[in-house]
Structure 1
Amino acid sequence: MYYGHSDHEQYGAGGHMSHATAPGFHNPSPAPPPRYTAPYVVQHPGGTIRWSSGLCHCCDHPENCLITCVCPCITFGQIAEIVSKGSPNCAVSGTIYTVLCFIGLPCLYSCVYRSRLRAQYDLEESPCVDCLVHFFCEACSLCQEYRELKSRGFDMGIGWEANADRQRRGITVPPVMAQGMNR
């Protein structure tokens, strides 16, 4: 049996009619694929960009997860230095965070940097408002921010100045891919 071009769309390569294209069935047009703005970054139609990993994917980077759970001021200091482009540096930001831990309000300081990070990279505000994310899930939010900066090519251990120097010289660190199935 010979099928024309339009018959191929309706019947498929094997000559069988699918349910979605059978007469009487509504075939909604598929949503357009998301636009890619950078490697592994998906932009939504509204203009915001998804985070490179979820809030609860802390075990994607187990070393950082452990450090953040034991001493979150280290992770926060690294994030704050990169987001603020070196001023204040990691030690100053980490010290301020530690002092705020004694009065129980480090989340107020860290949520400001989450908002700055989101603004710099046009990231979506998810799963809820930044201050609530930091208030209820401080360690997870710090880990997510760390992974986001790392996926954007920053070497979190060397600070802002060394990362900026690498970018000026054209040396880039490839994004870290999650370990999955191998061939």
Structure 2
Amino acid sequence: MSSTMVIRQPQPVMDARESDEWGSGICDCCEDLPGCCFGFWCFPCFACKTTKDYGQCLCLPLLDSFGFIPPITMSMRVSMRQRYGIKGTMCRDCLYATFCTACAWCQMSREMKKRKIQVVLVSAKNA
């Protein structure tokens, strides 16, 4: 019985997109028509699904209905800008969250799809 010692494991290679701008505009729904239709026709479900995909509590967007400025929508935009290094202001996030809520959620969903980092193993061999 022979044993082989592995000296170096293959490391994951990440291809990150370096940009400090949103990948799409607030009204670029044609870039993801199915997603935007889902957001338009069943907005609460779409917002909950997007929040879950982002790694937060599924029902968090339902709290937005208790105020004039939707705090969860604004918080998600600010968090996403910080996570992805996107330029912007809290004032603009507040305006989009208040007056363009569905479009803001669609933009965040498109951004998550565009910024999803795939992990590719290089030089991995099946044993």
Same fold (TM over 0.5): yes
Aligned to 1:78: 49
Change in CA separation of 1:111 and 1:147 when aligned onto 2, cut-off 3 Å: same
SS at match of 1:124: coil
Counterpart among 73, 92, 105 of residue 110 in structure 1: 73
Work out whether residues 63 and 72 of structure 2, in 8 Å CA contact, stay in contact via their aligned partners in 1: no
Aligned to 1:62: 33
Look at both structures and tell me which one has the larger radius of gyration over its CA atoms.
Answer: 1
Gaps of 5+ in 2: 1-14, 122-127
The list of structure 1 runs, each at least 4 consecutive aligned residues, that deviate by more than 4 angstroms after superposition, is 103-106
Counterpart among 13, 20, 38 of residue 16 in structure 2: 38
TM-score normalised by length of structure 1:
0.49
Q: State the superposition RMSD in angstroms.
A: 2.9
For residues 61-119 of structure 1, the C-alpha deviation after alignment (integer angstroms, 9 at most, x for no partner) is 11111111122222222322233x3x42x2x23xxx33543x46472221111111111
Question: Whole-Å Cα distance in 2 between the matches of residues 104 and 66 of structure 1?
Answer: 25
- CA drift of 1:152 comes to 1.4
Gaps of 5+ in 1: 1-36, 43-48, 155-165, 172-183
Q: Identity of paired residues, percent? A: 25
Counterpart among 98, 104, 119 of residue 62 in structure 2: 98
Structure 1 segment 114-125 matched on structure 2, within 5 A: 114-125=77-88
Change in CA separation of 1:38 and 1:100 when aligned onto 2, cut-off 3 Å: closer
TM-score normalised by length of structure 2:
0.68
Name the structure with the higher helix share. 2
Aligned to 1:51: 22
